[in-house]
Structure 1
């Protein structure tokens, strides 16, 4: 086998990342050497990958999870262009793992040719090393105002001569109109590459859906290749803000003891690496909820201030919304408070930032006796050490560094250097992914439950975060095998685009 496929979507958060991961796991089971690829990702949910030269770089966490599904080590080439939004108008550009520039809508267009060249070169290399490359699109290919210079959706498919399938989330409603509209808005050349559709998150009997499947096949001239049922626990690390909306709740199974541990995660405007909370939610009996409600913070057992791509801006938002007061009230009540990366920086007495916000000296929440200074060089590292008597590993992505501390550390690097802070019931660390270390997570949650007065909460000693993730990826592979026309997919990957598909003029009436 030697080929590839583009997984496009009717919208953001339609299920592209999930389907791509499922396809990678399914192909791996068949003995296919497969790689995931996303030419350009816009996300603050990233992970550090160490390249062959030993240098650390960033890619989207979704691509790292897809690599796990494929059974290969994450590679900077899997996500050659990463845009990290710092505001509504600007994003940091990460090229093959390295931050190289900041772009706005105005100067992004002039940068596109360079970004496209890098993406196409990365894909060409992967195609020489892997039997198949499963590409994930971005947003929707029908964003016709963005088609000129596109190298993520149909521009990529045209360049590589890859067939494309379009996935739509039926849970949102209007999926058939979205399928037909997506195809109709494309040019004839782009339409020629759209080979079929996959419906995501269907609830109920497929027979009830049959008239719609038949009609969209007739109307669009392309088959529905699969209907994936709605299943809990099949998500991969999200990349869109939609994945971590306020009021989203994460939990696995009920408590092992007699009480839940309720964790409230502040849903910051520039939230980054929210997957840290998913590691907490993997523990039985831990209920994790993203929220912007001050009352939920005061009522929670543990409050988490997560990472942020705009620490100073999000700190101002905390104060403007009254959430800062709720965070302070929670800590004053003696209940545990945890800050991770940007959230840790907000807990400091002071922040000096001439890099990210340009605001200079800013007063922090003052809940940890540390001072933070932003440096122009970004720290990118995979880190190992010890915390609470347990081994811990994580990764670092930050400009801010601790320049003064009067607090005991929360963690220590393998060489003994201190990291983070632990002051009575307030904790902070720059390490993302630390709570994926099972024994450390259990010890931290046990201590947090005790501080919160949840004496009936008990951890489950056998919980493995890696096993939880592997189970989810296996389930995705199962769903693809059971609910998608895999024979048709193999033909597409091996043989390329289907010839002779009909062209749908925009606005054409549906064919019965």
Structure 2
């Protein structure tokens, strides 16, 4: 293919499949020897990672970077919004926290941020044969079009062709695809090169007449119909989008006589919930998200994950009765593991001088660890290495909280707490270390009385992730018109695409 091109993958809705399709296209191109990079101008997510260049980006872009054979970089996601409440988000620009905004106040920053994202994309396109961009939400949000920098605003500024993916599992996908084009003004419509249907189950012959009518109505073809696959669940952009009935992943049967049951508390502002995915990859480990106390009663292990709003989520734990249930679990010497914000909640006290709570706060923690935390206005980012349970480990840190006093033994070299049944660490990604995870699972099973549980000797989290990326590429290769896709990437949208003369489109002329 022409070694110069770009593409924007937009979606009819959030969680339509944009992140997965971008990863699949990237992996497919990479396997063909094409130098390719991912890009998301603006992401809104509390699932993030620390990059090798020391910044913070959305986890989906880190996953897409792995699909390209690249280390994550701040260039792949120059603007990240991290919601701390329904109205306020922290803004991360080029990997670094840069204030807080409301939905309205953010509009005053978008002109400057559009320059940031277009400059970053231009630089990426100079280094790679192809850049595959991911939109945010839906381009049909016409109330936001004037300040858009992730969908059609980016497409116009960077001269990008666009394909729109729709999730048929939600229902109404043909109307969603048609309506997405119809509400756009003519200049934006001209950039929509085609459609992709995602998560299809059933007989393709039944869908074919609808796709033909969609082509007749819009002048645009459907480039492919991607079937549903229950094997895809790692690194979901929405950390809970792959969860069915609260269960994470597709647990394989145990190697021993017993299952190990893990309850991950689904905090209102949960962040980096993907930490639990490494546990869910293990045979015989059943991982479930929980939001009420009764679900903890039959759990062997409780995990308190990260939070973007630690103080308010701690108050939610108390209001729901989950705090008492976790304390009772620990009193029975059953294991509790806290990660980042969850680790901070397990301590005796959290002092916030105005980082999360504008007026400041000094609150009691759950008191399960001899630990005191003070928030710092400057966010700590790092990619540390060390030793835990006698084996080498690595991870990443994203937190405002600092340990100001700790009376428990350390879980890691210079970090974390190990009080026997209650453990904690600021490190994300710690459970992705295979040797450490096996040792930890053996210990957790013993502490919870699951003596019939046996950890698998050979589970590789990295291999599981690679397998899913290859599956995404297989789906692209087998179910998309890749020749048409190549043409769009290299040459843009066809120049003779019709304008849908709907009332909405006409009103915006």
Distance 1:20 1:241, change over 3 A: same
Ranges in structure 2 where 5+ consecutive residues have no aligned partner: none
Query: Counterpart in 1 of 2:338?
Result: 339
Verify the 8 A CA contact 1:298 1:327 in the aligned structure 2: no
Q: Cα gap change, 1:372/1:508 in structure 2, threshold over 3 Å: closer, same or farther?
A: closer
1:328 — aligned with what? 327
In the other structure, the counterpart of 2:374 is: 373
Q: Distance in 2 between matches of 1:507 and 1:247?
A: 41
1:135 aligns with 2:130: no
Alignment of 1:105-504 (within 5 A): 105-240=103-238, 243=241, 247-250=245-248, 251-354=250-353, 355-358=355-358, 359-412=360-413, 418-504=414-500
- 1:457 counterpart SS class: coil
- Most deviating of 304-313 and 239-248: 239-248
Aligned length: 500
Q: Distance in 1 between matches of 2:233 and 2:25?
A: 14
Distance of 1:246 and 1:352 partners within structure 2: 37
Conserved in 2, the CA contact under 8 Å of 1:42 and 1:239?
A: no
Decide whether the 8 Å contact of 1:255 with 1:457 is kept in 2. yes
Q: The residue matched to 1:232 in structure 2 has which SS? A: coil
**Contact 2:42–2:79 (CA<8 Å) still a contact in 1?**
yes
RMSD over aligned Cα, in angstroms? 1.4
Query: Contact 1:244–1:290 at 8 Å: present in 2 too?
Result: no
TM-score, with length taken from structure 2: 0.96
Shift of 1:236: 4.5
1:318 partner SS: helix
C-alpha separation in 2, matches of 1:105 and 1:149 = 11
Cα distance in structure 2, aligned partners of 1:291 and 1:498: 49
1:381/1:506 Cα in 2 relative to 1: closer, same or farther (>3 Å)? same
CA distance in 2, matches of 1:457, 1:476: 32
Cα offset, 1:122, TM superposition: 0.4
Per the TM alignment, residue 247 of structure 1 is displaced from its structure 2 partner at its CA by 3.9
1:242, distance to aligned residue in structure 2 (A): 5.1
Task: Give me the TM-score of the superposition, normalised by structure 1.
Answer: 0.95
CA deviations 1:117-176 (Å, max 9, x no partner) are 111110000000000000000000000110002110011111121111111111111111
Match of 1:415 in 2: none
Higher mean C-alpha displacement, 99-108 vs 366-375: 99-108
Decide whether the 8 Å contact of 2:335 with 2:421 is kept in 1: yes
CA distance in 2, matches of 1:252, 1:74: 28
Query: 2:365 & 2:336 partners in 1: Cα distance?
Result: 15
Report the alpha carbon displacement of residue 14 of structure 1 after superposing the two structures with TM. 0.6
CA–CA distance in structure 2, aligned partners of residues 506 and 298 of structure 1: 56
- For the residue of structure 1 that corresponds to 2:410, the secondary structure is coil
Name the structure 2 match of 1:46: 48
CA distance in 2, matches of 1:320, 1:86: 19
